[in-house]
Amino acid sequence: MAAVLSVNHLSKKFGNREVLKDISFDVNEGEVVCLIGSSGSGKSTLLRCLNLLEQPTTGTVLYRDKNIEESGLDLFHYRSKVGMVFQQFNLFNNLDVLENCTTGQVNVLKTEKEEAKKRALRYLTEVGMDTYINARPAQLSGGQKQRVAIARALAMNPDALLFDEPTSALDPETIGEVLKVMKHLAETGLTMVVVTHEMQFAREVSDRVVFMDQGVIVEEGKPEDIFNHPKEERTKEFLSRIL
């Protein structure tokens, strides 16, 4: 299987604090990898390193075999290929839904405006938000905002998407609609790395679960192995607390 992303002996320090320690793992084409672990274990920092929102202190991230820090891709282009969906949506609040989904295409990818609108509509339809094209983010529920954020990322024609707790800021009643969209994307074969506390989603949708604790990968494997037969004490302890 071809690796889309390959993390090799990555560590990250903030000052003297090492929050990621010798992390290595691959994300293969079409794979859905869920990152789980307690708050503070380093999941967001790892995801941010994959997107170069943080620079690794040592070690490398390869995107399709090229070191992302030396690939010659500018950051904006790299982030269109390996997109990110954030807990807090990060929509442009001064733009409407359609503009949120076209601005990156026009400004980064240099897509023609009409073509950008077409693509935006296609993905807004895919996430069920095509009837809200003129709405501002402030007029939308959390679940609707997150679906727009997902459409915006998809409109950039990504090779992989990173999700950092995409449902953690949502009201319980809108979590399901976002998870449903993500499940659909997984079924279409999109390569995804998902930090989540939604264990049911991880169990049902992911190909691989990576459990992190205190900056290290403690254990990784198929969801049924991690959830039903965890090998490591720390994994057992974490799962017994949350399941």
Residues that bind Mg ion (CB under 5 A): 44
Q: Minimum distance from CB of 39 to ligand ADP (Å)?
A: 4
Distances (CA, A) of 7 to 80, 208, 222, 237: 19, 15, 19, 26
**Which of Mg ion, ligand ADP, none binds 41 (CB below 5-8 Å, type-dependent)?**
ligand ADP
**Which of Mg ion, ligand ADP, none binds 14 (CB below 5-8 Å, type-dependent)?**
ligand ADP
Question: Is residue 193 near ligand ADP by the rule CB under 6 A?
Answer: no
- CA contacts within 13 A on the Cβ side of 194: 31
Each residue 42-71 as x (binds ligand ADP by CB under 6 A) or -, in order, gives: xxxx--------------------------
**Which of ligand ADP, Mg ion, none binds 137 (CB below 5-8 Å, type-dependent)?**
none
- CA contacts within 13 A on the Cβ side of 218: 23
Q: Minimum distance from CB of 110 to ligand ADP (Å)?
A: 32
Q: Minimum distance from CB of 55 to ligand ADP (Å)?
A: 11
Q: Name the residue number minimizing CB distance to Mg ion.
A: 44
**Which of ligand ADP, Mg ion, none binds 176 (CB below 5-8 Å, type-dependent)?**
none
Measured distance CA(11)–CA(56) in Å, rounded: 6
**Which of Mg ion, ligand ADP, none binds 40 (CB below 5-8 Å, type-dependent)?**
ligand ADP
Question: Is residue 146 near ligand ADP by the rule CB under 6 A?
Answer: no
Terminus-to-terminus CA distance in the chain, angstroms? 32
Q: Minimum distance from CB of 47 to ligand ADP (Å)?
A: 8
Full strand arrangement of the beta sheet holding 191-195: 82-85, 160-164, 191-195, 32-36, 208-213, 216-221
Nearer Cβ to Mg ion, position 44 or 196?
44
Measured distance CA(12)–CA(215) in Å, rounded: 9
Measured distance CA(215)–CA(44) in Å, rounded: 11
Nearer Cβ to Mg ion, position 44 or 102?
44
Biggest alpha carbon distance in the chain? 55
Contacts of 2 (CB under 8 A, 6+ apart): 28, 29, 64
Site for ligand ADP in 6-45 (CB under 6 A): 14, 19, 37, 39-45
Closest CA to 147 of 119, 185, 111, 110: 185
**Which of Mg ion, ligand ADP, none binds 188 (CB below 5-8 Å, type-dependent)?**
none
Task: Please report, as ranges, the residues that interact with ligand ADP according to CB under 6 A.
Answer: 14, 19, 37, 39-45
